[in-house]
Amino acid sequence: MKAKSGRVTYGTRAFHQDATEAMGGDIARALIETITNSDDVYGSKYGKIRIEIEHRRGPWKVVTRDRATGMSASRMEEAIASLGERTSGFEADADVRGNLGRGAKDIAAFGPVEFESVCDDEYAHMELDPYGNYTIDSPLKATPPR
């Protein structure tokens, strides 16, 4: 009889359990994650990181903004829509702290997460739900802020 091989299926419930465990129900962990991501992208440059928090019933609304390099839609999908991959640049000696391929996606433990970015005059938008399902919009031409 011939041997059979395959991959373990990582279901939506497992994604939610892992994200919830990683965040430990502590919104401060989510804030640390978003601030660290912004700080890592600035590298040796200086820049502002703005945090907005709206405390409300249901999921809080947390917005983290920076003026660093940004991510294209394809880069965003590569970094956020995969789990446990080596996408941070850590192995290439980039000055980053991430190396486990989880990071920002664990923030979905608190509710749906939206990621927006402008990179090379392209606007990218992605949504991730607490069960690992995502949608990413087709990239749009970025316009200057009003």
pLDDT in tens, 62-119: 888 888 888 899 998 988 888 876 655 556 666 555 545 577 899 999 999 999 999 9
Q: Which CATH number fits domain 12-41+48-141: 3.30.565, 3.30.200, 1.10.3470, 2.60.60?
A: 3.30.565
Burial class from Cβ neighbours inside 10 Å (0-12, 13-18, 19+) for residue 126 reads: buried
pLDDT in tens, 104-123: 899 999 999 999 999 999 99
Chain centroid offset of residue 83 CA: 11
Alpha carbons 20 and 77: distance in angstroms, whole number:
21
Whether the full predicted model's pTM is greater than 0.75, yes or no, is: yes
